Structure 1
Amino acid sequence: MMKRVLTLVAASALLGLAPAAAADFSFGFDWGNLRKCTSGNPNTVPNPRFRLRGVPAGTASIQFRMVDLAVPSYPHGGGTVKYAGESTIQPGAFQYRSPCPPGGRHTYEWTAVARDASGKVLGQAKARKAYP
């Protein structure tokens, strides 16, 4: 049995597989009290509250980017925050262009990329939610 475990560990190292912690990285968010179409003045809307889970060991920063899945070419932007082990990123950590779906309700997707101090990607997670 021990030989089989060592073989799996060696194979994982040779294949460059990510550690299990990176696979567990996820997050959720809520729009909070964001008023509809508040981006008349671009980049003045604070980010939603993000609840992080399974952030990879060694993470020094997390980059967030938002996309409207119905209009992916619109530049909503996002931001990068320093990470020091907290489980919540509070509103106001960065500014972005808020949702303003033409023709009604759209689904928006946030992507979070965890990086170490050298900029190496340690993990990536996505979360989607409709607005309004």
Structure 2
Amino acid sequence: MKKQSSLVVLAALLVMAAGCAGNTPDRIIIPKDAATMDVAFSWEGIQACTHVSPEIRVSDIPEGTTTFRVALKDISEPARNHGGGEVAHDGSGLIPAGALAIGYNGPCPPNERHKYEFSIMAMDAGGVIIGFGKARQSFPPK
């Protein structure tokens, strides 16, 4: 009886583990037909460990873009989540400095330079990704 109980517990654990494996967060998948955008930014004037995002310039924006979804990633230490946010596209191609204040954590490297990447997704009115671009810079700047 003890052996059967152990097998039942083991089977239950395997079922639970398989179920949990399917509950991983959805990854953002950029459609193959998404336009390629150019992205540029500078860390000049940005203080470490703040919630103030730099000015970001985006060009080659596809027609129909209503919103930019922005994400900051620490390439040197990918486990650190720096967040981002969404900004309405006003037609200028400019995401103003400080526009990502809510949900954004700026660069905060521990005693060394890290390389950071901004990813910009152009979204249409239905929330479909129609464009994508990214740019990398080290922080702090030289």
Cα distance in 1 for residues equivalent to 2:39 and 2:124 = 18
Provide the identity percentage: 34
In the TM superposition, 1:54-65 aligns within 5 A as 54-65=60-71
CA shift at 1:102, angstroms? 1.9
Alignment of 1:40-119 (within 5 A): 45-95=51-101, 96-119=104-127
**TM-score, with normalisation over the residues of structure 1?**
0.75
Alignment match, 1:30: 42
CA displacement 1:27-56 (0-9 Å, x = unmatched): 1001131123x33xxxxx221101111011
Q: Which amino acid aligns with 2:94?
A: T
Query: Counterpart of 1:123?
Result: 131
- Provide the rounded CA distance (Å) in 2 between the counterparts of 1:89 and 1:101: 24
Matched positions, count: 108
Runs of 4+ with deviation above 3 angstroms: none
Which blocks of at least 5 consecutive residues in structure 2 are unaligned?
Answer: 1-30
C-alpha distance after superposition, 1:52-78 (max 9, x if no partner): 110111001001100101111111100
**Conserved in 2, the CA contact under 8 Å of 1:32 and 1:49?**
no
Gaps of 5+ in 1: 1-15, 40-44
Does residue 18 in structure 1 map to residue 30 in structure 2? no
* Corresponding residue number in structure 1 for 2:17: none
Q: Go from structure 1 to structure 2 and tell me whether the alpha carbon gap of 1:68 and 1:82 turns closer, same or farther (over 3 Å shift).
A: same
RMSD: 1.7
1:47 partner SS: coil
Residue 57 of structure 2 aligns to a residue whose secondary structure is strand
